[in-house]
Amino acid sequence: MSSFLSVKEQLSVIKRGTVEIVPEQELIEKLKTSRKENRPLRIKLGCDPTRPDLHLGHSVILRKLRQFQDLGHHVILIIGDFTALIGDPTGQNKTRPSLTEEEIRENAKTYLDQAGKILERDKTEIIYNSDWLRPMRFEDVIRLCSKLTVARMIERDDFSKRFNNNESISLHEFLYPLAQGQDSVHLKSDVELGGTDQKFNLLVGRDLQRDAGQEPQVCLMMPLLVGTDGSMKMSKSYDNYIGIDEPANDMYGKALSIPDDLIYPYFELVTDVDQENLEDVRQKAETDPRNTKHELAFTLTRMYHGEEKAIEARKHFEKTVINKDIPDDAPVLEFEGGTSHRLMDIISDAGLTSSNGETKRMMKQGGVSIDDRKIKDPNFEITFKKGDELGLKVGKRKFAKLVS
């Protein structure tokens, strides 16, 4: 008696939010064999720790890995500490700088801590690809390079664009997909997960496995999550992200800032809402986007902070945004009566922004107010009188009480 769900039931879970499975029929055959032999498939996801913090965009692929885990398959999270030294050129229009080993180790630690909020750590095999890539001899690398032609490499979209634009491509960048493919050979993976931008790299893994006499892996591609701006992929670089470690109030507020047409994709890709309830969510998102978006914000905040924090975040939003009140837990900044202070300095000194430059930009954009009055002049000063109590709002989610 197999311990796995039927192939049809597994496919329903696996295909949720999935863009492409190459080839799908091979996945079906692998699932059939898995059930027949009562043997879990080996599911691989490689992650280069190029940044220390994860956002919901990263969670799309991690949640798919968790779904395979929940279906009873063996998931392998590869920390690409060696491939990170090369620097993945995928999606780059120029060579990505490689990281130091110290930076990689520090990023990997934070990455694993945050990934543990999604994956079952005790059921996840975590390995580092330096274990098998670093011992390779130069002759091994030459032999590996012989497996792919330069013409095949230039087929890759980002390489071909740079080549046609006469932009530099370093030889070591060609090694990246080969190294990632070698991971698949070493692990004998059945399925490899990746974003749509990783398709070329995943297919190289199939080629190398076939050349090594292995049954080639199935490649499963997930979409790149669009950020809160509604146009670019979620990224810290674009400041359109929702971090997995965001404070509850910020996570709730940022989720409410997404465009209405992203409500359903977010529910499908980054929440734990049951598959059978997704169609109801789609209809509600179309007919009542405002309340459905609040449901999304609450769901995400509950997933990462718990029910109690999610309830508090909803109340915080109602108080500060809907009722336009200063929250009770806002920091209190005291000033001596009769003294004058430049508002920009007050904001920066209190750490409500990262710098005077950011403060100035927010003021010019109308993101700073005193008692609901927008202050756009960076040289605006407040002269405090004894007994003053002013409400300061910076951006959408930062507050302070100014008292004298």
The binding site for ATP consists of 236
Please give the torsion angle defined by the CA atoms of residues 228, 229, 233 and 237, in that order, rounded to the nearest 10 degrees: -90
Number of H helices, E strands in the chain: 18, 13
CA–CA dist 83, 242 (Å, integer): 26
CA–CA dist 363, 343 (Å, integer): 10
Helix ranges restricted to H, 146-198: 150-154, 157-164, 171-187
Residue 93 structure tokens: 């229009």
The length of the chain, given as a count of residues = 404
Sequence ranges of the binding site: 236
Side by side, which strands form the sheet with 218-222?
Answer: 20-22, 218-222, 191-195, 42-47, 74-79, 124-128
| Angle of the 138-145 helix axis to the 171-187 helix axis, nearest 10 | 90
Q: In whole angstroms, how far apart are CA 396 and each of 53, 113, 217, 280, 322?
A: 22, 28, 46, 30, 12
| Residue 270, C-beta contacts closer than 8 angstroms, at least 6 positions apart | 56, 59, 60, 63, 225, 300
Give SS3 for 403.
strand
CA–CA dist 10, 19 (Å, integer): 16
For residues 229 and 240, the answer to whether their CB atoms sit within 8 Å is yes
For residues 374 and 368, the answer to whether their CB atoms sit within 8 Å is yes
For residues 357 and 333, the answer to whether their CB atoms sit within 8 Å is no
For residues 266 and 296, the answer to whether their CB atoms sit within 8 Å is yes
| Residue 306, C-beta contacts closer than 8 angstroms, at least 6 positions apart | none
For residues 285 and 292, the answer to whether their CB atoms sit within 8 Å is yes
Per DSSP bridges, beta strands 381-383 and 340-342 are antiparallel
